[in-house]
């Protein structure tokens, strides 16, 4: 089978690997769509594992079933989690599935930028979700990133009536904008350095778009009747955005750090400013739980989060290197999807 083998962001080669052989409890999937995630192009994060086949935002067809697997048949349309929790450790039982040691160790064989993937038994047991009939392959592969966004907003306790500011309007930021609107946020403000992305954020429900070089806090106060934002969601690793977030949150509010920075980046903050009279919560979120994947598919199916409109490029497996360049440069692309069967 053909795979897109990652050596670095500028060296991705189409190579041949044997179709994986499955064992008891496992599934063999034919990949029909796999989105390129922003984390896929974080070279510092990926390079230590190279050469490797990346890709985890998959929508696939079941083609072979291992001994003992029940409930699936060839031809079934599914999405699958590449990381799955044990569901039994203290962290899982306390609702922190994505902090589970097992989740950090589980993965596909190989990644989704390939024609076929072997799904290990643990993933089959707790990380496969049927694609609703109404959804296309490309819409379904948004289940994983939207699941991550769902967990992030749950950690930030985004609720109806909140005012929300989203820093960074790449795909993750757009999903946060759309989800906050779906959850009933009173006002959603998008902040970015790119005017085109701000306009796109408005299209997905943002009430206002503010250029990051403007006086963001003053504009938010103007939009929010003199107040800052109840929830500030940071969807970029830029140091300036992480520092700005702390100046945009209202008393009693929450800042969600949803993206990693480059290695070694730190930000200064005054504990006193956060502490005295402000009652501000700072939180992070990584990945999504199984329940988040189920809800993500439901939201996409219901049209509450319009993911199809976020797709800018659909490329064959042979164009994976071009797809990585598009995502890394972040100029003329939003969601780039690789279709290995093309």
What's the CATH class of domain 157-284?
A: alpha beta
- Neighbour tally for 174: CB within 10 Å: 29
- pLDDT of amino acid 277: 67
- pLDDT of amino acid 108: 97
Among residues 333, 52, 38, 285, which one has the least CA distance to residue 153? 285
- Neighbour tally for 258: CB within 10 Å: 27
- pLDDT of amino acid 273: 80
Each residue's pLDDT, cut to its tens digit, for the chain (342 residues) gives 999 999 999 999 999 999 999 999 999 999 999 999 999 999 999 999 999 999 999 999 999 999 999 999 999 999 999 999 999 999 999 999 999 999 999 999 999 999 999 999 999 999 999 999 999 999 999 999 999 999 999 999 999 999 999 999 999 999 999 999 999 999 999 999 999 999 999 999 999 999 999 999 999 999 999 999 999 999 999 999 999 999 999 999 999 999 999 999 998 888 888 787 688 999 999 999 999 999 999 999 999 999 999 999 999 999 999 999 999 998 889 999 999 998
Structural contact between residues 14 and 58, judged by C-beta atoms closer than 8 angstroms: no
Tokens of 112: 């989704």
Structural contact between residues 174 and 334, judged by C-beta atoms closer than 8 angstroms: yes
Structural contact between residues 338 and 323, judged by C-beta atoms closer than 8 angstroms: yes
| Residue-wise DSSP of 193-229 | S-HHHHHHHHHTT-SEEEETTS-HHHHHHHHTTT--E
Residues of CATH 3.40.50.720 domain(s) within the chain? 157-284
Structural contact between residues 115 and 2, judged by C-beta atoms closer than 8 angstroms: yes
CATH 3.30.70.240 fits 2-147+288-339, yes or no: no
| 3-class state of residue 232 by DSSP | strand
Residues of CATH 3.90.180.10 domain(s) within the chain? 2-147+288-339
- pLDDT of amino acid 312: 97
| Residue-wise DSSP of 4-59 | EEEEETTEEEEEE-PPPPP-TT-EEEEEEEEEPPGGGG-HHHHGGG-SB----EEE
Q: Strands 335-339 and 311-316, how do they pair? A: parallel
């Amino acid at each position: 089978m053909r795979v897109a083998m990652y050596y670095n962001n500028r060296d991705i080669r189409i190579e041949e690997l044997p179709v994986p052989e499955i064992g008891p409890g496992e599934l063999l999937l034919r990949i029909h769509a796999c989105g390129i995630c922003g984390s896929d192009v974080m070279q510092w994060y990926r390079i230590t594992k190279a050469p490797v086949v990346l890709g985890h935002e998959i929508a696939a067809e079941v083609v072979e079933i291992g001994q003992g697997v029940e409930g699936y048949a060839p031809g079934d349309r599914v999405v699958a989690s590449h990381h799955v929790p044990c569901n039994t450790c203290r962290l899982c039982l306390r609702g922190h599935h994505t902090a589970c040691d097992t989740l950090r160790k589980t993965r596909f064989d190989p990644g989704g930028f390939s024609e076929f993937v072997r799904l290990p038994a643990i993933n089959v047991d707790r990380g496969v979700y049927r694609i609703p009939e109404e959804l296309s392959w490309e819409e379904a592969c948004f289940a994983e990133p939207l699941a991550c966004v769902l967990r992030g907003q749950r950690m930030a306790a985004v609720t109806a009536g909140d005012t929300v500011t989203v820093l960074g309007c790449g795909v993750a930021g757009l999903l946060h904008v759309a989800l906050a609107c779906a959850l009933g946020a009173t006002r959603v403000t998008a902040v970015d350095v790119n005017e085109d992305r701000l306009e796109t954020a408005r299209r997905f429900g943002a009430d206002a778009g503010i250029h990051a070089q403007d006086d963001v806090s003053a504009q938010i106060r103007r939009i929010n009747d003199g107040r800052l934002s109840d929830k500030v969601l940071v969807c970029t690793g830029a140091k300036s955005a992480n520092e700005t977030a702390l100046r945009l949150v209202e008393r009693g509010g929450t800042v969600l750090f949803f993206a990693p920075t480059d290695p070694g980046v730190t930000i200064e903050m005054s504990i006193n400013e956060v502490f005295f009279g402000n009652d501000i919560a700072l939180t992070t979120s990584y990945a999504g739980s199984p329940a988040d994947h189920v809800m993500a598919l439901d939201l996409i199916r219901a049209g509450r989060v319009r993911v199809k409109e976020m797709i800018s490029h659909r490329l064959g497996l042979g164009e994976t290197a071009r797809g990585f360049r598009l995502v890394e440069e972040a100029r003329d692309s939003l969601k780039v999807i690789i279709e290995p069967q093309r």
